[in-house]
Amino acid sequence: MKDAAGRQKREPGPQPAARRRELRRWSGVPPARFLGSNQIELLEGGDALFPRMCDAIHAAQRDVWLATYIFHDDPAARTVLDALTEAAARGVAVHVVVDGFGSMGTLEAIRSAMGSAGVQLEVFRPLERWYAWLQPGQLRRLHQKLCVCDERVAFVGGINLIDDRHDMNHGWTEQPRLDFAVQITGPLVQSVYATARAMWARAHLARAWRHEVRTLVRGTHPARKAMALIRELRGAPGPAAPVEEAPMRAAFLVRDNLRQRRAIERSYVDAIRHARERVDIAVPYFYPGRGFRSALRRAAKRGVRVRLLLQGKVDYRIAALAARALYDELQGHGVRIYEYTPAFLHAKVALVDDDWATVGSSNIDPLSLLLNLEANVVVRDPAFVSALAARFDAAFAVSAEVPAGQARGGGWRGWLRRAVIASAANAYLRLAGITGRY
């Protein structure tokens, strides 16, 4: 088309606002809501998770999306890597996103294996250049552990792709770490799928944003390729599943730095505030904010049995010191504290009464509650809660209960210790761009 002067008239492209909306849809995650008619199975450790995950990947016909903090290079992780590369080799669209810090040591090896097979690998906040360490945003990591195959089956939990008996800082151990995940089929899979896809898309956009934004704004031919990629990634998941009352009812909760900053923390606190009989929490890194601690204290005060299962075999001494600084405060209000000593504790699970349970990646500390990208499943189903309760009871049976007063966190020394740790936590959060008291 030509203008009045005979010059070639440029076709108008989509306006910047429309393009921004398209990119937000590409990298957005759905809000949490409870959906019925799911089948959710509790899996303990990588020994249970990895074979199930590999079976689902081998059966995939269309696509596989995987997000993880650590993708290690040991025999257990290699079984998953082999399944992913085999799927890509037979034409399945395989997308993997790993965290740039958690997978830093093995990134070169997995990138080589995946690249040769056609797996589309992205790295969330990579640290391959020295100046990347100077960016405050690098403190916010991808800590989710997600896998979705053909939008049919999903896996969510706290288990990294590493052998249960292998610790990256302490080497090999005789006993497997205590950790959990869930296998999901049903309507909730769509929420996990949308989130796993969004994590890959965000990492991809962060890597190539200069080129892609430039081409999008100009409306040139490469822009059409970018928009085609966005449409491919977004897919057509179909209409949202209605809220149902049929078992198993569950919600997929995400903690991100956009619209769902405190979704997981609020779910915990709300459940604890409504507890009538029991609250059991297992978590390796425990330093909750004042509102969370208040909910625990109030529950114990009104007669609810509140038990915490924390690390006895310590992997990071600073994290253990932070948790132990709170022992006397909580025990003084009736909260019972146990330390798990047979192996490293990595589980992030909890149950309240007989009809609320959560399994996921979120610790109860400033990093997980306010910084990292996390994902938990909350299940409202008595049978599932009963299965998790049995695992709790087995873990408590081999743990040591901490006698009240043993932490020596009372008096002015205890107050000073908590003040120092709280100040350090707030300084870390301010450095990461989070304001407000914790």
User: What residues are labeled active site?
Assistant: 143, 145, 150, 346, 348, 353
Burial class for 302, CB neighbours closer than 10 Å (0-12, 13-18, 19+): exposed
Residue of 30, 33, 28, 29 lying closest to 267 (CA atoms):
33
User: In Å, what is the CA distance from 119 to each residue of 52, 82, 88, 151?
Assistant: 20, 11, 6, 18
Strand-pairing partners, residue 155, are 147, 183
As a whole number of angstroms, the distance between CA 249 and CA 268 comes to 17
**Placement of tokens 């079984």 in the chain:** 79
Give CA angle at 65 (177, 138), nearest 5°: 70
Handedness of CA 98, 99, 100, 104 (dihedral sign): negative
- 371 contacts: CB under 8 Å, gap ≥ 6: 139, 140, 141, 257, 429, 432, 434
Name the packing angle between helices 75-89 and 107-117 (round to 10°): 20
Task: Please say whether the beta carbons of 360 and 377 come within 8 A.
Answer: yes
